[in-house]
Amino acid sequence: MSSYTPSGVCSKKISFDVKQDKLHNVSFESGCPGNLFGISQLVEGMDIYEAIKRLQGIKCGAKSTSCPDQLSKALVAYIEENNN
């Protein structure tokens, strides 16, 4: 399981698995439980590159980022670390 510490959002940690470039078991620590569980369910089994494309740049209110945007950053970091 990979983990990422987001910044600028209510969530404190994002955890996820990647198997054959597919996203699995996404979970967020803290934040808005219903919305984050919904996001986790929606991206389950999604190609990581597609998830990045869909989530990158989403903002939360006046913030310059959001939990979905931070998940996209976590996936970019995962790709860079694993040379995918």
Give the pLDDT band (50/70/90) at residue 83.
confident
Q: Confidence class of residue 84 from pLDDT cuts 50, 70 and 90?
A: low
**pTM of the predicted structure, to 2 decimals:** 0.94
Alpha helices in 1-84 (DSSP H): 33-43, 48-55, 67-82
Q: How far apart are the first and last CA of the chain?
A: 16
Amino acid (1-letter code) at residue 70: Q
Average pLDDT on 63-78 reads 97
